[in-house]
Amino acid sequence: MSNVTVIGTQWGDEGKGKIVDWLASRADIVVRFQGGHNAGHTLVVGDQVYKLSLLPSGLVRGKIGVIGNGVVVDPKALMTEIDRVTAQGLVVTPETLWIAENAPLILPVHGALDRAREAARGDHKIGTTGRGIGPAYEDKVARRAIRICDLAEPETLDWKLDELLLHHNTLLAGLGAETFTKEQLKDFLAEITPRLLPFSCQVWDCLDEARRAGRRILFEGAQAVMLDVDHGTYPFVTSSNTVAAVAASGSGVSPSSVGFVLGIAKAYTTRVGEGPFPTELHDQTGRTLGERGHEFGTVTGRPRRCGWFDAVLIRRAVRVGGVSGIALTKLDVLDGLDEISICVGYELDGQKIETFPSAPGAQARVKPVYETMPGWKETTAGARSWAELPAQAIKYVRRIEELIEAPVTLLSTSPERDDTILMRDPFED
Ligand code: IMP
C-alpha cells in the first residue's frame, strides 16, 4: 500500500482538481505542500461546485486536510475560503484542518510588492497572479518571514515586523507604491490571529503519527513542473518547487513517503500568464480548444493560451518530477478534430534539438517539430472503459505513452468524477 503524490506536468490547470478529488475519496489525509492561493481547483460534487485555492481538496470528501510548511498562507484568503465552503455545508475545524505552525504568512505588503513589481516590469512582466506568492517565498528564504508560530509571541512579532517593513517599505517607495505602517500590519495580524492559531500544529509530527497508524496520505501538488522555480520556464515560473520531491520537505515527511507519483497532463496544452509556449496555436484550432475546454483561469479568470500536446516537455517533467504514471485529462476536447498534432522535437536557429533549452531567449525562439495523426469523429466524452474509446483515440494515447516514456494509468473523459478510466490504482502500487 502506497501513498500517492499528484503533480501537474505542464503549466498548471491540467484538471488536477477532479483527479485529486477522486483519489481523496480513497485516502485518509490530503496534504498541500507548496504554493499558496495562486492555485485554483474547481470540484463538481453533485449539484455543488467548490472553488478551492488554498484548502486541500480532501476536505470536500470529509477527509483531513493539511497545509504543510512548504505552503505560503494568506490568512485572510484562507478565512474567506473556509467561510465560503462552510456556507456550502463542509465542516472545517481544527480536527479536520491542520496547518503547519512553521508555514510563512502572506501579508498585505507581499501582494502590494508583487503588483508594483509586475507593473514596473512592463514588457517583461511574468503575469503573476498578483497575490504576493513570490515576495512571501523571498521573505522565507531571506529569513524575515512572519510564520504562523510567531503570532503566539508578541515580542518576536514586534522586532520581526520592524525588519520586514524596513525591507518592504524601501522597495515599495522605490517603485512609487504606497508604503505600510507597523500599526496597519499589527491590526491585520490581530484580526486573524484568534481564528488562525487554533488550526496550527506540528504537522510533521501529526503526519508521522498518521504514517505509524497506517493511514493513507495523498499529497496534492499545485501549479506544475513547467512552473517549477528550478525546472520550469524561468523566470516565467512560480516561486516554489513543484516537483514531487517537495512533498516530503514541504510537509516534513521522509522522501520515501511520497509514494506513487501521478503526473497530470492535459491531452493538449494550456498556459496562463506570460512566457514561452512552443506549441501555442494562434488560429481557429487554438480558439476551438479554448472554447471546448472552457479554458479560463480559476483564480484570475484570464483566458488560457492553448496549443498541441508537447511530448518533449512532458518527457522532461516525467524525469525531473519523478512521475510513475500519467493521468491524461480532457481527451474529449479533441473529439471531432480532423487532425491532431504532437510535438516530438524542436528546431532552434535551424538546428534540430531534442530537449527544451534553458535560456529564455532560446526558449522563446524554439519551433516545434510535429507528428500529425488523424483525429476521430466519435465522442469520447463520458467514456468509462477502454472499450468505449474510438480506435484512433486509443492510438493517440498509446503514441503519447511511447513519446513521454511513461504509462497512462488514468484517463479522464469529462468533468464528472466517475467519467474516469482507471488502468492502475496508484494506491495499490
Ligand atoms: P505567481 O505564482 O502568482 O507568482 O505567478 C507566476 C506564474 O505562475 C504566472 O504565470 C501564473 O499565471 C502562474 N501560476 C501560478 N499558479 C498557477 C496555477 O495554479 N495554474 C496555472 N498557472 C499558475
208-220 pLDDT, tens digit each: 999 999 999 999 9
* Residue 7, ligand 1, Cβ within 6 A: no
Q: Domain segments of the chain: what residues?
A: 4-103+199-260, 108-196, 265-428
Residue with the nearest Cα to atom 9 of ligand 1?
Answer: 128
Report how far ligand 1's centroid is from the alpha carbon of 223 (Å): 7
Enter the C-alpha cell of residue 269: 496544452
Query: Where is average pLDDT lowest: 34-43, 72-81, 373-382?
Result: 34-43
Enter the C-alpha cell of residue 348: 532552434
Residue 395 marked in a binding site: no
If one looks up domain 265-428 in CATH, what number appears? 3.90.170.10
Position 350 pLDDT exceeds 90: yes
CB atoms inside a 10 Å sphere around CB 402: 9
Contact 30, 243 (CB under 8 A): no
pTM of the model: 0.95
- pLDDT at position 416, please? 81
Enter the C-alpha cell of residue 121: 516590469
* Residue 227, ligand 1, Cβ within 6 A: yes
* Residue 38, ligand 1, Cβ within 6 A: yes
Residue with the nearest Cα to atom 12 of ligand 1?
Answer: 273
Report how far ligand 1's centroid is from the alpha carbon of 237 (Å): 7
Indicate left, alpha or beta for 184 from its phi (over 0: left) and psi (-120 to 50: alpha). alpha
Residue 302's pLDDT band (cuts 50, 70, 90): confident
CB atoms inside a 10 Å sphere around CB 159: 9
Report how far ligand 1's centroid is from the alpha carbon of 378 (Å): 35
Between the alpha carbon of residue 252 and those of residues 49, 257, 285, 371, the distances in Å are: 31, 10, 44, 43
Buried-state track 351-368, b at ≥16 Cβ within 10 A, e below 16 = eeeeebeeeeeebeebeb
Is the sign of the CA dihedral 191, 195, 196, 197 positive or negative? Answer: positive
Position 387 pLDDT exceeds 60: yes
CB atoms inside a 10 Å sphere around CB 182: 13
Catalytic residues: 13, 41, 140
Enter the C-alpha cell of residue 353: 534539438
Q: Kindly state the average pLDDT of the residues 315-322.
A: 96
Report how far ligand 1's centroid is from the alpha carbon of 390 (Å): 35
Residue of 348 and 417 predicted with greater confidence: 348
Residue with the nearest Cα to atom 22 of ligand 1?
Answer: 12
For the chain, give the percent of residues with pLDDT over 70. 100
CATH of range 108-196; options 1.10.300.10, 3.40.50.1820, 3.40.50.2300, 1.20.1250.20 = 1.10.300.10
- pLDDT at position 135, please? 98
Residue of 416 and 411 predicted with greater confidence: 411
* Residue 126, ligand 1, Cβ within 6 A: yes
* Residue 12, ligand 1, Cβ within 6 A: yes
* Residue 223, ligand 1, Cβ within 6 A: yes
Query: Where is average pLDDT lowest: 17-21, 147-151, 368-372?
Result: 17-21
Position 163 pLDDT exceeds 70: yes
- pLDDT at position 422, please? 87
Q: Kindly state the average pLDDT of the residues 354-383.
A: 95
* Residue 127, ligand 1, Cβ within 6 A: yes
Position 418 pLDDT exceeds 70: yes
Report how far ligand 1's centroid is from the alpha carbon of 7 (Å): 14
For the chain, give the percent of residues with pLDDT over 90. 87
Polymer length of the chain: 429
Residue 16 marked in a binding site: yes
Contact 328, 363 (CB under 8 A): no
Q: What is the Cα–Cα distance from 9 to 124, expressed in whole angstroms?
A: 24
Position 308 pLDDT exceeds 60: yes
Whole-number average pLDDT of the chain: 95
Q: What is the Cα–Cα distance from 367 to 352, expressed in whole angstroms?
A: 9
Report how far ligand 1's centroid is from the alpha carbon of 131 (Å): 10
Residue of 429 and 186 predicted with greater confidence: 186
Contact 85, 78 (CB under 8 A): no
**Strand duo 41-45 + 48-52: pairing:** antiparallel
Contact 327, 261 (CB under 8 A): no
Residue with the nearest Cα to atom 21 of ligand 1?
Answer: 12
Cβ burial, residue 381 (10 Å; 0-12/13-18/19+): middle
> Candidates 16, 52, 129, 240: which one to mutate for ligand 1, based on the most atoms within 8 Å of Cβ?
129
- pLDDT at position 1, please? 55
Report how far ligand 1's centroid is from the alpha carbon of 158 (Å): 32
CATH topology of domain 4-103+199-260: Adenylosuccinate Synthetase; Chain A, domain 1 (3.40.440)
Position 414 pLDDT exceeds 70: yes
Residue 332's pLDDT band (cuts 50, 70, 90): very high
Contact 282, 307 (CB under 8 A): no
CA 222 from centroid of its chain's CA atoms: 2
Position 289 pLDDT exceeds 70: yes
The secondary structure of 84-147 as a DSSP string is HHHHTT----TTTEEEETTPBBP-HHHHHHHHHHHHHHGGG-----SSSHHHHHHHHHTT-PPB
Between the alpha carbon of residue 163 and those of residues 138, 170, 185, 275, 387, the distances in Å are: 14, 11, 13, 33, 62
What helix, strand, coil percent values describe the chain, rounded to 5? 40, 20, 40
Ligand 1: atom nearest CA of 133 is 4
Residue with the nearest Cα to atom 15 of ligand 1?
Answer: 38
CB atoms inside a 10 Å sphere around CB 377: 11
Report how far ligand 1's centroid is from the alpha carbon of 299 (Å): 9
Ligand 1: atom nearest CA of 240 is 2
- pLDDT at position 316, please? 96
Position 116 pLDDT exceeds 90: yes
Residue 190's pLDDT band (cuts 50, 70, 90): very high
* Residue 238, ligand 1, Cβ within 6 A: yes
Ligand 1: atom nearest CA of 40 is 19
Tell me the residue type at 361: G
Helices marked H in 239-382 — which ranges?
246-249, 284-292, 311-321, 360-365
Q: Kindly state the average pLDDT of the residues 97-102.
A: 98
Enter the C-alpha cell of residue 164: 520586514
Q: Is there a shared CATH topology between the 4-103+199-260 domain and the 265-428 domain? A: no
Position 176 pLDDT exceeds 80: yes
* Residue 56, ligand 1, Cβ within 6 A: no
> Candidates 72, 272, 298, 306: which one to mutate for ligand 1, based on the most atoms within 8 Å of Cβ?
272
Contact 324, 344 (CB under 8 A): no
What is the rounded radius of gyration, in angstroms, for the C-alpha atoms of the chain?
A: 22
> Candidates 238, 296, 306: which one to mutate for ligand 1, based on the most atoms within 8 Å of Cβ?
238
